[in-house]
Amino acid sequence: MNPYRERLTPPATVFVATALVVPATLLVFLPIDQVVGVVVAVLFYAAIVIALVVTSPVLTIDDEAFSAGRARLFPYEIGDVRGFSGAEATQQRGPGLDARAWTLFRGWVKPVVRISLTDGTDPAPYWLVSTRRPDEVVRRLETLRQRTPGR
Protein backbone atom coordinates (compact mmCIF):
# COMPACT_ATOMS: atom_id res chain seq x y z
CA MET A 1 0.00 0.00 0.00
CA ASN A 2 1.27 3.49 -0.85
CA PRO A 3 1.49 5.59 2.31
CA TYR A 4 -1.11 8.31 2.78
CA ARG A 5 0.07 11.60 4.25
CA GLU A 6 -1.93 14.75 4.89
CA ARG A 7 -0.79 17.82 6.80
CA LEU A 8 -3.71 19.83 8.19
CA THR A 9 -2.24 23.23 7.34
CA PRO A 10 -4.32 26.38 7.49
CA PRO A 11 -5.74 27.86 4.27
CA ALA A 12 -4.30 31.02 2.72
CA THR A 13 -7.00 33.15 4.37
CA VAL A 14 -5.54 32.36 7.81
CA PHE A 15 -2.13 33.59 6.69
CA VAL A 16 -3.71 36.75 5.27
CA ALA A 17 -5.56 37.34 8.55
CA THR A 18 -2.39 36.86 10.59
CA ALA A 19 -0.77 39.56 8.46
CA LEU A 20 -2.68 41.98 10.71
CA VAL A 21 0.16 41.49 13.17
CA VAL A 22 2.32 43.64 10.85
CA PRO A 23 0.42 46.95 11.25
CA ALA A 24 -0.11 46.24 14.95
CA THR A 25 3.62 45.71 15.45
CA LEU A 26 4.46 48.78 13.38
CA LEU A 27 2.10 50.84 15.51
CA VAL A 28 4.05 49.86 18.61
CA PHE A 29 7.62 49.97 17.27
CA LEU A 30 7.64 52.81 14.68
CA PRO A 31 7.71 55.53 17.37
CA ILE A 32 10.88 53.91 18.71
CA ASP A 33 12.68 53.40 15.39
CA GLN A 34 11.46 52.83 11.83
CA VAL A 35 13.99 50.16 10.94
CA VAL A 36 13.39 48.29 14.20
CA GLY A 37 9.63 48.52 13.62
CA VAL A 38 9.80 47.01 10.14
CA VAL A 39 12.26 44.28 11.15
CA VAL A 40 10.24 43.28 14.23
CA ALA A 41 6.97 43.28 12.23
CA VAL A 42 8.46 41.00 9.56
CA LEU A 43 9.98 38.70 12.20
CA PHE A 44 6.68 38.45 14.12
CA TYR A 45 4.76 37.57 10.95
CA ALA A 46 7.38 35.02 9.88
CA ALA A 47 7.32 33.43 13.34
CA ILE A 48 3.52 33.12 13.26
CA VAL A 49 3.55 31.57 9.77
CA ILE A 50 6.26 29.10 10.76
CA ALA A 51 4.39 28.19 13.96
CA LEU A 52 1.14 27.60 12.06
CA VAL A 53 2.82 25.29 9.56
CA VAL A 54 5.11 23.43 11.96
CA THR A 55 2.38 22.77 14.55
CA SER A 56 -0.12 21.53 11.95
CA PRO A 57 -0.81 17.86 12.69
CA VAL A 58 -0.06 15.19 10.11
CA LEU A 59 -2.29 12.21 9.29
CA THR A 60 -0.48 9.14 7.97
CA ILE A 61 -1.68 5.71 6.96
CA ASP A 62 0.98 3.16 6.10
CA ASP A 63 1.31 -0.63 6.17
CA GLU A 64 1.66 -0.68 9.96
CA ALA A 65 -0.75 1.86 11.46
CA PHE A 66 -2.80 5.05 11.29
CA SER A 67 -1.24 8.11 12.91
CA ALA A 68 -3.00 11.36 13.73
CA GLY A 69 -0.49 13.78 15.15
CA ARG A 70 1.48 11.82 17.75
CA ALA A 71 -1.32 9.31 18.41
CA ARG A 72 -1.28 5.94 16.68
CA LEU A 73 -3.83 3.20 15.95
CA PHE A 74 -2.80 -0.28 14.85
CA PRO A 75 -4.98 -2.34 12.47
CA TYR A 76 -6.34 -4.61 15.22
CA GLU A 77 -7.63 -1.53 17.12
CA ILE A 78 -9.63 -0.14 14.18
CA GLY A 79 -13.34 -0.92 14.11
CA ASP A 80 -16.02 0.67 11.94
CA VAL A 81 -14.80 3.69 9.93
CA ARG A 82 -17.11 6.40 8.55
CA GLY A 83 -16.48 9.73 6.86
CA PHE A 84 -18.65 12.81 7.32
CA SER A 85 -18.80 16.15 5.56
CA GLY A 86 -21.11 19.15 5.51
CA ALA A 87 -23.91 19.18 8.08
CA GLU A 88 -23.12 15.60 9.16
CA ALA A 89 -19.55 16.61 10.06
CA THR A 90 -20.85 19.57 12.05
CA GLN A 91 -23.20 17.22 13.93
CA GLN A 92 -20.32 14.82 14.68
CA ARG A 93 -18.06 17.65 15.94
CA GLY A 94 -20.84 19.29 17.95
CA PRO A 95 -24.05 17.85 19.42
CA GLY A 96 -23.25 14.26 18.39
CA LEU A 97 -19.78 14.23 19.97
CA ASP A 98 -19.19 11.82 22.84
CA ALA A 99 -17.17 13.64 25.52
CA ARG A 100 -14.97 10.54 25.90
CA ALA A 101 -13.94 10.50 22.22
CA TRP A 102 -10.36 11.22 21.21
CA THR A 103 -10.40 14.16 18.82
CA LEU A 104 -8.04 15.92 16.46
CA PHE A 105 -9.84 18.91 14.96
CA ARG A 106 -8.73 21.90 12.99
CA GLY A 107 -11.34 24.62 12.51
CA TRP A 108 -10.27 25.17 8.92
CA VAL A 109 -10.82 21.50 7.96
CA LYS A 110 -14.55 20.74 8.07
CA PRO A 111 -14.85 17.03 7.05
CA VAL A 112 -14.13 14.38 9.70
CA VAL A 113 -13.58 10.64 9.91
CA ARG A 114 -14.97 8.64 12.82
CA ILE A 115 -12.96 5.54 13.74
CA SER A 116 -14.57 3.15 16.22
CA LEU A 117 -12.16 1.32 18.50
CA THR A 118 -12.18 -2.42 19.15
CA ASP A 119 -10.27 -2.18 22.44
CA GLY A 120 -12.89 -2.45 25.19
CA THR A 121 -10.43 -1.19 27.81
CA ASP A 122 -9.76 2.07 25.97
CA PRO A 123 -11.70 4.91 27.64
CA ALA A 124 -12.30 6.53 24.24
CA PRO A 125 -15.08 4.82 22.28
CA TYR A 126 -13.86 6.30 19.00
CA TRP A 127 -11.51 8.77 17.33
CA LEU A 128 -12.85 11.77 15.42
CA VAL A 129 -10.24 13.28 13.11
CA SER A 130 -10.37 16.22 10.69
CA THR A 131 -9.34 15.44 7.10
CA ARG A 132 -9.75 17.13 3.75
CA ARG A 133 -10.26 13.74 2.02
CA PRO A 134 -12.61 11.66 4.19
CA ASP A 135 -13.50 9.15 1.45
CA GLU A 136 -9.86 8.32 0.76
CA VAL A 137 -9.04 8.03 4.47
CA VAL A 138 -12.02 5.68 5.01
CA ARG A 139 -10.97 3.53 2.04
CA ARG A 140 -7.37 3.29 3.22
CA LEU A 141 -8.34 2.57 6.83
CA GLU A 142 -10.68 -0.20 5.68
CA THR A 143 -7.81 -1.68 3.65
CA LEU A 144 -5.50 -1.44 6.66
CA ARG A 145 -8.14 -2.96 8.95
CA GLN A 146 -8.56 -5.98 6.66
CA ARG A 147 -4.93 -6.92 7.35
CA THR A 148 -5.91 -8.01 10.86
CA PRO A 149 -6.34 -11.79 11.08
CA GLY A 150 -9.94 -12.86 11.70
CA ARG A 151 -11.56 -9.95 9.84
Instruction: Give the residue numbers spanning the domain of 20.
Output: 4-54
Q: Looking at the structure, do residues 126 and 88 belong to the same domain, yes or no?
A: yes
**CA 90 to chain centroid:** 15
Q: Looking at the structure, do residues 11 and 31 belong to the same domain, yes or no?
A: yes
| Distance, CA of 138 to CA of 146 (rounded, Å) | 12
> CB–CB of 105/128 below 8 Å?
yes
Q: Looking at the structure, do residues 50 and 102 belong to the same domain, yes or no?
A: no
| Distance, CA of 92 to CA of 82 (rounded, Å) | 11
Residue 39 lies in a domain: yes
* Predicted pLDDT at 150: 60
3-state secondary structure (DSSP) of residue 15: helix
Mean pLDDT of 123-150: 92
Q: Looking at the structure, do residues 12 and 86 belong to the same domain, yes or no?
A: no
Residue 149 has pLDDT above 90, yes or no: no
We report the CATH number of the domain holding residue 77 as 2.30.29
Q: Looking at the structure, do residues 68 and 16 belong to the same domain, yes or no?
A: no
* Predicted pLDDT at 44: 97
* Predicted pLDDT at 74: 93
Q: Please name the helix (run of DSSP H) or strand (run of DSSP E) that holds residue 56, with its range, or none.
A: none
CA gyration radius for the chain? 20
Q: Looking at the structure, do residues 122 and 97 belong to the same domain, yes or no?
A: yes
Domain count, the chain: 2
For the stretch 17-38, pLDDT in tens is: 999 999 999 999 999 999 999 9
Q: Looking at the structure, do residues 42 and 70 belong to the same domain, yes or no?
A: no
Backbone angles phi, psi at 126, to 5 degrees: -160, 165
Pairing status of strand 126-130 against strand 102-104: parallel
Q: Looking at the structure, do residues 18 and 38 belong to the same domain, yes or no?
A: yes
For the stretch 44-88, pLDDT in tens is: 999 999 999 999 999 999 999 999 999 999 999 999 999 999 999
Residue 76 DSSP code: G
- Report the DSSP beta bridge partners of residue 117: 78
Q: Looking at the structure, do residues 49 and 67 belong to the same domain, yes or no?
A: no
Q: Please name the helix (run of DSSP H) or strand (run of DSSP E) that holds residue 96, with its range, or none.
A: none
